[in-house]
Amino acid sequence: MTAPTHRIGEPAWDAWGDPARAHHLTPDQRALIAQVLGVPATTAAPRAAETELRVARSALPPAARAALAAAVGPAHVNTNPAARLRRAGGKSTPDLLRRRAGDVARAPDAVVSPADHDQVAAVLAACAEHGVAVVPFGGGTSVVGGVEPLRGGFAAAITLDLRRLDRLVALDPVARTATLQAGLRTPEAEEVLADFGMTLGHRPQSYEYATIGGYAATRSAGQDSAGYGRFDSMVLALRAATPRGTLDLGRAPASAAGPDLRQLLLGSEGVFGVITEVTLRVRPLPAAEHEEAWGLPDFAAGTEALRALAQGGLRPTLVRLSDPAETFVNAVLAGAPAPQGCLAVVRCEGDAAYVAAARDAAAAALRAVGGAPLGAEPVAHWREGRYSAPYLRDALLDAGVLAETLETAATWSRLPGLRRAVTAALTTALGGGGGPEPLVLCHISHIYPEGASLYFTVATAAGDDPLERWRAAKRAAGDAITAHGGTITHHHAVGTDHRPWLGAEVGDLGVEVLRAVKRTLDPAGVLNPGKLIPASAPGTGRGGGAGSGTESGAEEGRR
Amino acid sequence: MTAPTHRIGEPAWDAWGDPARAHHLTPDQRALIAQVLGVPATTAAPRAAETELRVARSALPPAARAALAAAVGPAHVNTNPAARLRRAGGKSTPDLLRRRAGDVARAPDAVVSPADHDQVAAVLAACAEHGVAVVPFGGGTSVVGGVEPLRGGFAAAITLDLRRLDRLVALDPVARTATLQAGLRTPEAEEVLADFGMTLGHRPQSYEYATIGGYAATRSAGQDSAGYGRFDSMVLALRAATPRGTLDLGRAPASAAGPDLRQLLLGSEGVFGVITEVTLRVRPLPAAEHEEAWGLPDFAAGTEALRALAQGGLRPTLVRLSDPAETFVNAVLAGAPAPQGCLAVVRCEGDAAYVAAARDAAAAALRAVGGAPLGAEPVAHWREGRYSAPYLRDALLDAGVLAETLETAATWSRLPGLRRAVTAALTTALGGGGGPEPLVLCHISHIYPEGASLYFTVATAAGDDPLERWRAAKRAAGDAITAHGGTITHHHAVGTDHRPWLGAEVGDLGVEVLRAVKRTLDPAGVLNPGKLIPASAPGTGRGGGAGSGTESGAEEGRR
């Protein structure tokens, strides 16, 4: 069991990541915001200081506290307000707006930190016995309400902090698999793997903070998904603690031994159990690499090139295509001249033969649609800032700009119509009132033979009630996504925020299946109430009984 | 909706496939069998004639028959003995031995043939209402008891024949997906796809008879899985009828909208619902191809080369490595000189650039372990006979030889130990008694970054009770597989024959999850009783109630 030597610390409570890395807008940027979004350059959004906050007293009943202390040791049941505040929710724009306004009503009643799988199991048993909701927590980077400490009708909710599960359990250099504990942040995982010359290659924007267990529980996708695959596709085996016992799933690289039950835990967002250990595909650190930016005449041409790459035999490791608006805004933010059309970045890494072949395939596909190479510099620039966009978002919130993102995926055939529909929904919902139109930027960053993701970035004047403004826009966008054949989420997961659309995506009967699995593994309904599984329709009489803790969590939800 | 013009007919009732293509052993082959297996060249195993059989009268209650006739039309509720006999089970060696001995006790009480999804749903509703077991049936090629018409405690069992669902529903040339109905056999599916210049590329040994729905329900793997992927990996969306309603799952190429519920239906073997329609990845018919055979010094070296290919960036479409025993036997059967060491066959197909790159990568990996090219002829020879091995098996049964196959998969690290253990288990179980040792041949035919499949072919003297001989050998092999980290099945599925090991593979809690899903989708327990889901342990009190039809099916099972 190897532990990393460099541990990433706790992120800020009211912003993304490391407070020391906070972004500060330049006067030029402020002027541009005034011009484009109509937000005066002197605007300063209110932001509560930690000393002003009143985190409610812990409601954890003494008997439950004693049982939890017995499970993990008294030192690891923390009711300190500062610790609870830092687990009061995730990192979506609404999350930050609420906390910055001093709304910390949803802080958990305790932060419980088990050391290993057995302690996780003991915590779940204690919570099931004492009727305490359990919210699994890794990096806390959810942008869909996934780590919101909802009580779900129970008297108290604890955050189950998995950060002490931070070891490399096993590495198989022949099969190229690594068994990692759930609480490792990505840089920590990469550090222990690099000692063996290996890498995971999973690099989402939340790379610096998100954890192995969180990736598995939310079906994350990294920016290098074209080459390394989505996180769920890297999972050979997993171990999960549930109130009914332990699940150890996956032993072979492929199997026909019934339905693939690993897939019920992947994406289960802590409502069925707590993933404590994941055995993942790893690869040798790349021996060669090549990266290049390309200018494309328009988004349709760029999309066509990406489709050709996805459907060909030689995919790059990373490919990313910005629409003209995003291309323009990124250039302005970088202080660079804005190119015509769209920017694509391509990166290939691996052994030399693969890199050469994939580079040539990418160049051929991009040239075929009128693309022109722009050199490596724009890719290096993008790469240096690849994890920093949330810091810019936070600075925009300070400056009175409502900035947020959302994402979907669909088949190549549906992609253009889906993009138009979502853009129109956001523009209509956030426009009007005589002010400037909102900025709606879009890029493709994950490609598959059958289709691709669409990632939207929105910026608009915050106005008097940015939470309500975003709620309306998000609702309109979600409805447009569902109506136009997209999935409600390609990689952000469901949490509280996407629950209203899950029934449309998997059907009422699919939701019933999820409830049946929930009742089997978590009969008391204490696991992450109010997340993922839609609340029962009133009066249907379904989903009650043992699962009612979960269902009533909906009343605490935001929608 | 396009239907194929060439429909593949019904296979033989007591043998594989087309009776006109039955294999006849040559005198040289008989002499070799006598020498190697000690079976006299004059041995002729008994084989009942169809006219001698007594298929029991249909026990379908009149009310159920009327309800089924209302669902599909009276002409499509067939109680004719010939039709029922041809759906009395699958095509494993024990299946054929039983039927050849005149044991047709398990013929279904009727063959019901719906025309479309709604009729399938109506049949399920009728069976749930009248308490009739339903056994979905496509190509009837199961070798694990998956289509055995067990009644599961109900008064009657029908076979639900899906062959009338034989249309191409939609083809999307941009996303490269095709929606195919469940009852299409592979050559029929390829015919309708070829009209659009597309192919599925799914070519298991059962290619000529197996159906699209069967592939999905059993998580099939084709011989070209290295290039085209396993069948489950090709599925974008599926539609299933259940007694509780319809499931429509899958809309995007990738999603984080909760657990992937498609994966609960893939591999569900008809116990949760009946897959009626599958939307699959298709590809253009290949523009280029290259194939070559290689001689390898030994199995370890060949395995090392296959691992390098699987873990590299450029995989061939097909790769197959026979151990020395299989290499020798195949050469003798072909009348060719037996090469030293192991034979590998490699095939690459796709666009010209990919074929060239993949061919070079394969050659480099094989040369690196001491491989030498043997030209294309051995591959062409293998390809011509790729679907014919079961005909040879049938001829061996006639000649008093017990011949059967089994398969597993594991990580590369575990593969050598697993192969040794399974070979030893089979050799010990079938040896002894002073006769010659059984022949145990092995090949690798499916590779993944983390591991590969192992496929065993066994031939030995049938003896007085070949069914009991094989039962003991299969039990020993299954126990060895489970003990040495293999999956109980890589692509044959679970059926009745692998049920005893499923609990070891997914755990008791995993089995409970399967039961919970079953109770939700099939509360009456009429769907394919006795398959896939292990019977409850006596006295546990679980799995009873609504699901008891399934559980009691175990008593009818063979183990």
CB atoms within 10 A of CB A155: 14
ipTM: 0.95
Closest CA to B188 of B215, B168, B216, B217: B168
Residue B546, pLDDT > 60, answer: no
CB contact under 8 A, B252 and A411: yes
Per the annotation, binding residues of B are 136-142, 269-275, 393
- Closest chain A residue to B246, measured at CA: A509
CB contact under 8 A, A411 and B232: no
Comparison of pLDDT for B184 and B537, the residue scoring more = B184
> Which of B412, B508, B513 lies at the smallest CB-CB distance from A174?
B412
Buried b (16+ CB within 10 A) or exposed e, B46-78: ebeeeeebebeebbbeeebbebbbebbeeebbb
Residues of B in contact with A354 (CB under 8 A): 312-314
Residues of A in contact with B230 (CB under 8 A): 254
CB contact under 8 A, A221 and B491: no
- Closest chain A residue to B227, measured at CA: A313
pLDDT of residue A339: 81
Query: Is A139 annotated for ligand binding?
Result: yes
Structure tokens at A111: 């932060």
- Whole-angstrom Cα distance, residue B43 to residue B461? 10
pLDDT per position as a tens digit, B402-411:
999 999 999 9
- Closest chain A residue to B542, measured at CA: A520
Query: Is A142 annotated for ligand binding?
Result: yes
CB contact under 8 A, B450 and A257: no
On whether the CB atoms of residues B257 and A502 are closer than 8 A, the answer is yes
pLDDT per position as a tens digit, B147-175:
999 999 999 999 999 999 999 999 999 99
Query: Is A478 annotated for ligand binding?
Result: no
Which residues neighbour A448 within 8 Å (Cβ) at sequence distance 6 or greater?
A310, A409, B253, B254
Scan for tokens 């099969």, then name that residue. A175
The alpha carbon of residue B56 is apart from the nearest alpha carbon of chain A, in Å, by 32
pLDDT of residue B491: 98
Which amino acid, B186?
T
Q: How many A×B Cβ pairs under 8 Å? A: 300
CB atoms within 10 A of CB A137: 29
Backbone angle region of B293, left / alpha / beta, with phi > 0 → left and psi within -120 to 50 → alpha? beta
- Closest chain A residue to B516, measured at CA: A516
Residue B530, pLDDT > 70, answer: yes
Catalytic residues of B: 455
- Closest chain A residue to B177, measured at CA: A450
Query: Is A153 annotated for ligand binding?
Result: no
The alpha carbon of residue B514 is apart from the nearest alpha carbon of chain A, in Å, by 9
pLDDT of residue A240: 98
pLDDT of residue A366: 98
Q: Domains along chain B?
A: 168-284 (3.30.465.10), 285-399 (3.40.462.40), 400-492 (3.30.300.330), 499-558 (no CATH)
pLDDT per position as a tens digit, A420-452:
999 999 999 999 767 789 999 999 999 999 999
Residue A54 CB-density burial (10 A; 0-12 exposed, 13-18 middle, 19+ buried): exposed
Residues of A in contact with B493 (CB under 8 A): 256-257
Confidence of residue B545 (pLDDT cuts 50, 70, 90): very low
Mutate which: A225, A261, A407, vs B, most B CBs within 10 A: A261
pLDDT of residue A180: 98
Beta bridge partners of B95: none
Query: Is A275 annotated for ligand binding?
Result: yes
Question: Can you point out the beta strands (E) in A101-163?
Answer: 110-112, 132-137, 156-161
pLDDT of residue A1: 75
pLDDT of residue B538: 52
Residues of B in contact with A493 (CB under 8 A): 256-258
CB atoms within 10 A of CB B124: 26
Q: Which residues of chain A have pLDDT under 70?
A: 433, 537-559
Residue B544, pLDDT > 90, answer: no
A173 to A178, A203, A333, B469: CA distances (angstroms): 8, 22, 43, 40
CB contact under 8 A, B252 and A521: no
The continuous run of DSSP H or E covering A272 comes out as none
CB contact under 8 A, A255 and B490: yes
Number of helices (H), then strands (E), in chain B: 18, 19
A100 to A473, A558, B358, B480: CA distances (angstroms): 21, 17, 55, 60
- Whole-angstrom Cα distance, residue A447 to residue A303? 10
- Whole-angstrom Cα distance, residue A512 to residue A537? 12
The alpha carbon of residue B249 is apart from the nearest alpha carbon of chain A, in Å, by 6
pLDDT per position as a tens digit, B38-58:
999 999 998 999 999 999 999
pLDDT of residue A363: 97
pLDDT per position as a tens digit, B200-232:
999 999 999 999 999 999 999 999 999 999 999
Evaluate if pTM is beyond 0.80.
yes
CB contact under 8 A, B357 and A313: yes
Pairing of strands A372-375, A447-448: unpaired
CB contact under 8 A, A254 and B453: yes
Structure tokens at A518: 């929930």
pLDDT of residue A10: 85
Average pLDDT score over residue span B318-343: 92
pLDDT of residue A551: 34
Structure tokens at B74: 């009276």
Scan for tokens 């559980």, then name that residue. B551
Mean pLDDT of chain A: 94
CB contact under 8 A, B314 and A177: no
pLDDT of residue B537: 63
Residue B540, pLDDT > 60, answer: no
Which residues neighbour A468 within 8 Å (Cβ) at sequence distance 6 or greater?
none
> Which of B264, B507, B521 lies at the smallest CB-CB distance from A248?
B507
How long a stretch of residues is chain A? Answer: 559
Percent above pLDDT 70 for chain B: 96
Average pLDDT score over residue span B506-521: 98
Catalytic residues of A: 455
Confidence of residue B9 (pLDDT cuts 50, 70, 90): confident
